[in-house]
Chains A and B, each alone.
Chain A
Amino acid sequence: MTTTFDVSQLKVRIGSEPIIKGISMSFFSHTVTSIMGPSGCGKTTFIRCMNRLHELVPNIQVEGSISLCNQDIFSVNPMVIRRQVGMVFQRPNPFPTMSIFDNVIAGYRLNGLPLSKPDALRVVELSLNKAGLWHEVKDVLHRKGAFLSGGQQQRLCIARALAMDPSVLLLDEPTSALDPKSTAHIEDLIAELKESVSIIMVTHNIGQASRVSDYTAFLLGGELIEYGTTQKLFTVPDDPRTEEYLSRKFGA
């Protein structure tokens, strides 16, 4: 099975405080991998290392290596990586000054990649279709996205990320700010998307992880406790801490 990201001995510190204490794992292509764990376990930091957005934090230091398709992501300009890896954030963040149409192709505009009008139309329709939003917005493409519901805005952000044709899509708790119906919508979407793009998803919702992902990684205190297929992790986990986390969440 081919891998997308290969993480080797990743250690992350902010100042003198260790956040991630040596994680090694590989993510497989055409799969959905969930990263879960309690608050403060480092899962958000971890996923942000994948597209080097962790560099926004002052005093952050990284040791170890991350490779994307055998390319060390720290040896190139971060923008190169970010064009191959898409990200969707916890709160939907479409650009408020742009129309829905412009939002979808924002990646091209911002990177100075020219798109002819027919190409732009094609990309917009394709991406919005993949994100399951086309039919709802096809008549209002040139309006600004503020009137869309939270779930629709999030799907717009997914379309925006997909428009760049990334090999990996990073999702940072994509449904935690949404209502249950939108959440269900997006979970269905994720299942469909893995055909074309590999997905790494941070979630604190155990049910979501079990429904949607093929592989699951359990992080605790900055360490990778267990990583395996979702089925195994949820039924017969190796590590007692995994079991304790899952039961505490499922149980009382």
Chain B
Amino acid sequence: MRDDRLSQRILVDRMVKCLLMGVAVTVALVLVSIIWFVASRGIGAINWTFLTSLQGSPGDLKVGILNAMLGTVMVAGFTTLVVVPFGIWCGVAMAEYPAHPLVKWAVMGMDALQSIPSILFGILAYLWLVVPMGHFSSLSGSVALAMIMLPIVVRSVEESVKQVPVTLREASLALGASPTRTILKIVIPSGLNGIVTGALLGLGRIVGETAPLLFTAFGSPFLVASVLEPVQTMPLLIYNYATSPYPDWQQMGWGASFILLVFCFMLGVFTRFLVRK
């Protein structure tokens, strides 16, 4: 009697294990196949012309994604330049005065920001900038992306500052340094690793964003020098080309997808490497 139950239990155990493994492996394979598909379709589209030409119009011969790549750099770069200093500012304040009511409210505000779907930030930037300005611009796109990136950076900075060992602060104070100098010259530099990681995490997130840019940066076939003009980014281009009826444009979309994917992966690997340090 006891033996029967035992072999039955072992059977159940094996079955469950197989089932779980089957499910896990299947889904993992599907997910990996997506990557494979993008890579296989995309690599074929990449050549020198592709990387150095502008978007052009349907039927143009010399077309490429240069304006999209540069546009992504422009929008993401501008966002990073604005968000990182402000993020350090807020993060340090939140780490230094966690009990202050202003800080408690700010933490709640940040939690709220993190739950908001990115397209709604697009609406906000539209209302704040596109409407008054009367036209689309990479500036409004940067503003939308900034609100996505900010909580990520602030969180990272706060964690990073909190993790600097108290004994370093004590050593600095014992030498006669003011608390302010201690923060600026000892604590923040010691937390630099975490701050950079936060910036990279935020960057990785916004580089792939499309929705908030749909009606802010909007897209443009030109090379743009000013933040006051609409600009094309990689995800926007992919969206446009993916949903277009032209097979050669779709092919370009795969090429752009592959490049974007590789970039996101490399950023992720680099960030993980920094965290290990």
A residues with CB within 8 A of B: 51, 53, 56, 79-83, 86-87, 89, 91, 93-97, 106-107, 109-112, 157, 160-161, 164
Contacts and interface: CB of A to CB of B under 8 A. Distances in A.
Interface in B147-204: 165, 167-168, 170-178, 181-182, 185-186, 189-190, 192
Given A91-B167, A93-B168, A110-B186, 16 more contacts: A79-B176, A80-B176, A82-B173, A86-B174, A89-B167, A89-B171, A89-B174, A93-B165, A93-B167, A93-B171, A96-B168, A96-B190, A97-B190, A111-B176, A111-B181, A112-B181
B175 A106 contact: yes
B173 A53 contact: yes
Given A79-B177, A109-B185, A53 B171 contact: no
The residue among A82, A112, A164 with the most chain B CB atoms within 10 A of its own CB is A82
Contact of B176 (A83, A93, A94, A157): A83
Nearest to A82: B176
B12 to A, nearest CB: 53
B98 to A, nearest CB: 12
A95 B186 contact: yes
Contacts of A93: 165, 167-168, 170-171
B177 A110 contact: yes
B144 to A, nearest CB: 35
Given A96-B190, A97-B189, A107 B167 contact: no
B156 to A, nearest CB: 18
B179 to A, nearest CB: 9
30 contacts: A51-B174, A53-B173, A56-B173, A79-B176, A79-B177, A79-B178, A82-B173, A82-B175, A83-B176, A89-B167, A89-B170, A93-B165, A93-B167, A93-B168, A93-B171, A95-B172, A96-B190, A97-B186, A97-B190, A106-B172, A107-B176, A110-B172, A110-B175, A111-B175, A111-B181, A160-B171, A160-B175, A161-B174, A164-B175, A164-B176
Nearest to B174: A87
B170 A107 contact: no
| Pairs A-B, 10 closest by C-beta atoms | A110-B177, A83-B176, A87-B174, A82-B176, A107-B175, A93-B167, A93-B171, A97-B189, A79-B176, A110-B181
A96 B172 CA distance: 12
Interface of B: 165, 167-168, 170-178, 181-182, 185-186, 189-190, 192
The residue among B168, B173, B182, B185 with the most chain A CB atoms within 10 A of its own CB is B173
Nearest to A96: B190
Contacts of A106: 172, 175
Contacts of B172: 95, 106, 110
Given A110-B182, A110-B185, A95 B174 contact: no
Nearest to A108: B175
Contacts of B175: 82-83, 86, 106-107, 110-111, 160-161, 164
A251 to B, nearest CB: 34
A53 B174 contact: yes
B55 to A, nearest CB: 45
Nearest to B184: A110
Nearest to A85: B174
Contacts of A109: 185
A55 B1 CA distance: 72
A107 B177 CA distance: 7
A81 B174 CA distance: 9
Contacts of A80: 176
Contacts of A81: 176
The residue among A91, A107, A157 with the most chain B CB atoms within 10 A of its own CB is A107
Contacts of B167: 89, 91, 93
B169 to A, nearest CB: 8
Nearest to A112: B181
Nearest to B185: A110
Contacts of B176: 79-83, 107, 110-111, 164
Contacts of A83: 175-176
The residue among B178, B182, B190 with the most chain A CB atoms within 10 A of its own CB is B178
A107 to B, nearest CB: 4
A111 B167 CA distance: 18
